[in-house]
Amino acid sequence: MVEFKQFYTEREVSDKLAALIQIARPSNCLELSAGEGALIDAVLKKYPKVHVTAVDIDYKNASYLRGKYPDVNVLCGDSTLPELCDLINDSSFDIALCNPPFKSIVINSYISSLVFDMTGKKFKGDKVRAEIVFLLLNLKKLKS
């Protein structure tokens, strides 16, 4: 499944990333571009009791994730749209990670507000790199 500019994370990379997380007992984790679940696998291996909320834009991936992880809250949608953020129950997470799409996306009013809220700066231009938006979304959802 390689649609939507998807580049899946290798298990070794996921395991190394999870190994860098230094939280004693996280209660929840957010994954905004879950793909086929490589980062979820690594986080659940390290923290088997963590509650995961996973998002993917591809309905095939979301369906696959629901079958693979019956205890994970899987949402299918575009993480860069406000409607999806409204569906995410927890307003703050102990862990937030993702392998975002690497492409340019059109700036909408939600992204413009996000950039301003998180940086205090107005974005100039009509497109922004998706990885910047995903980073800001993750930072916004992390507990202080």
Predicted local confidence at residue 2, as pLDDT = 45
Phi, psi torsion values for 10, nearest 5 degrees: -75, 150
Q: Could you tell me the residue ranges of all domains in the chain?
A: 11-141
Q: For residue 84, what pLDDT is reported?
A: 82
What angle do helix axes 130-141 and 109-119 make, rounded to 10 degrees?
A: 60
Give residue 7's pLDDT: 60
**Tokens 């102990």 label which residue?**
94
Mention every residue, 6+ apart, whose C-beta is less than 8 A from residue 44. Answer: 50, 52, 69
Structure tokens at 72: 């994970």
Counting as low any pLDDT under 70, the low residues of the chain are 1-9, 89-91
Q: What is the pLDDT of residue 15?
A: 85
What is the pLDDT, as a whole number, of residue 86?
A: 76
Q: Tens digits of per-residue pLDDT, 53-79? A: 999 999 999 999 999 999 999 999 999
- Phi, psi angles (nearest 5°) of residue 105: -125, 150
The pLDDT of residue 10 is 72
Instruction: Tell me what pLDDT residue 11 has.
Output: 77
Is 3.40.50.150 the CATH number for 11-141?
A: yes
